[in-house]
Structure 1
Amino acid sequence: MTEPFTQEHDGERLSGVHGGGGVDGSTVPSAVLLHGAGNGSKERLLPLLDEFVAHGCHALAFDFSGHGESSGELAELSLRRRFEQAVAVIDAHAPVDGPLVLVGFSMSGQTVADLARHYGARVAALGLCAPAVYAAEAWDLPFGRGDGEFSAIIRRPDSWRRAPALDVLRAYEGRAVLAVPGTDAVIPPEVTEAVQEALALRARFTRLELPEADHQLGRWLRDHEASRRELVAALLSGLGDLGWTATGGWVARQLPVERYG
């Protein structure tokens, strides 16, 4: 059973859906599903949300401002604002201090890395689905309408190689799954390989190949139940072995909170 919610943040009304384990159960993992850019929204992710709920998780998804049913203008959104909106939703609608499973599509690969740095050892697993990462100087800039400074930076050849997100992923030691479509006309293969190399350094890493899918993995997972189940099973595999079922088991491993700036 899922329910809609609304979160007010920084003058915007963010539309979301959540369901599953009670908010008082801090040992129940919360799966946070983050859509991509463009015409992305939470709607495509609802079947994936239901799959996490079926596995006993609390799960939530929401529309970033300027997307779906949320207020705001897409041109005014930024990577920083995406991160801050996600933090506001998680802090208000996930079990307090409970473990997090962060799943991001495309642009939200960057947001997942931002959240992993912010929440530290509270993050039990990362799911990166055809992820993007960005140069640090792009983080504060509004997206605009395709002709501004943000677009100029991300179109600069190899600007992504300076992405702080890659440093976060290199340091991450939890469960990590990289979902890779057979055809991706958006994310350069060099970016995907850099993300894989970063995750393989310390994380318990799995590369999940989806050979018939394209970049729109949210849409693919919506329409392919077996792939949804495979992704969720991979993300949740072995979490109990790390003590995530023990009350407050993550506290001793908590890392200092840092932020890009």
Structure 2
Amino acid sequence: MTEPTTQTAAANQEPAFIEVGEGDHKRRIAVRARAARGPGSPGLVWLGGFKSDMQGTKALALDAWAAEHGRSSVRFDYSGHGESSGDFADGTIGRWLEESVAVFTQFCRGPQVLIGSSMGGWMALLLAREIARRGEGQASLAGLVLIAPAPDFTEELMWKGFSPEIRAEIETKGLWLRPSDYGDGSPYPITRALIEEGRNHLLLGSKIDVGCPVRILQGAQDPDVPWKHAFALVHRLPAEDVVLTMIQDGDHRLSRPQDIARIIAAVAEI
């Protein structure tokens, strides 16, 4: 029964900080990196969701599992999230991708499993594409584990679902305050920049070749990312070594003990 102690240690670990961007766009990104105990199995890289941070249930459970099994583990907060600097309202998909690339480049060595939750699933796919573009580096991809992945969510799950009134408010005022059922329940800004810049990173309109195994876990009762969205993603991925697990009673968080056990099993399989 070592996991609770290990998980507490993971929660109490102090972050390191790196700077990303130049001039007025410079921000301090909080990172928690755990080294592997010797060479061997792939490391874990956690990519969190929209308005989430690296101290969430799934991130801590995966970090504790990595520590228990001697694997390296890297998790971080996007700018405007958690312990990183910056205003959430300044965030865009491209900005957060730049931070993801910087963290991967500076902290990862050898084969890695990218684990992306919700928006982090989109980030993992974009990061995988960026790694492939850059060619040989000190780190490579062993696989992707995507939890309720939300590629293209700014367009498919936000903009296309917004009423004409909400769209007009975003276009004229530059943002709309969206009610939230998560965190402290405070509404949060959906900005015109988030929507418009997100269009530079859309993936679902063409084939997505990540060059590694992919495991997707999706809750059938997810109110935020419908299960049909996961099917749309699967159709864009290569046919070989892509497995979609549908959790019939699962919600968007997939943070119950049985959900976390399935996530860890998917990571261990890779």
TM over 0.5: same fold?
yes
Q: Which has the larger radius of gyration?
A: 2
Q: Identify which of 73, 88, 94 aligns with 2:102.
A: 88
Provide the C-alpha distance between the structure 2 equivalents of 1:147 and 1:163, rounded to a whole number of angstroms.
17
1-structure distance, mates of 2:84, 2:234: 32
Q: Which residue of 1 aligns with 2:251?
A: 214
Tell me by how many angstroms 1:206 deviates. 1.9
Q: Does 1:163 align with 2:176?
A: no
Cα–Cα, structure 1 residues 165 and 88, in superposed 2: closer, same or farther, change >3 Å?
A: farther
Q: Name the structure, 1 or 2, with higher relative contact order (CA <8 Å, separation 6+).
A: 1
SS at match of 1:123: strand
Deviation of the 1:198 alpha carbon: 2.5
Q: Which amino acid aligns with 1:7?
A: I
| 2:148 match | 130
Shift of 1:53: 3.0
Match of 1:16 in 2: 31
Aligned residue in 2 for 1:37: 50
The whole-number CA distance in structure 2 between the counterparts of 1:179 and 1:62 is 22
For 1:47, the equivalent position in structure 2 comes to 61
8 Å Cα contact 2:155-2:195 kept in structure 1: no
RMSD (CA atoms): 3.1
Equivalent in the alignment of 2:192: 148
Counterpart residue identity of residue 146, structure 1: I
Identical pairs, percent? 25
The equivalent residue for 2:167 is: none
Runs of 5+ consecutive residues of structure 1 not aligned to the other structure = 240-261
TM-score with structure 2 setting the length: 0.70
Q: Secondary structure at the match of 1:164?
A: coil
Normalised by the size of structure 1, how large is the TM-score? 0.72
Counterpart selection for 2:92 from 74, 78, 82: 78
Conserved 8 A contact 2:17-2:30: yes
2:223 pairs, out of 185, 189, 192, with 185
C-alpha contact (below 8 Å) 2:219/2:227 kept by paired residues:
no
Summarize deviations over 1:100-149 as a string: whole Å, max 9, x none. 211111112211111111112821110111111128999xxxx9532525
C-alpha distance in structure 2 between counterparts of 1:47 and 1:205, whole Å: 24
Gapped runs of 5+ residues in structure 2? 1-8, 157-173, 176-188
Q: Output the amino acid matched with 1:8.
A: E
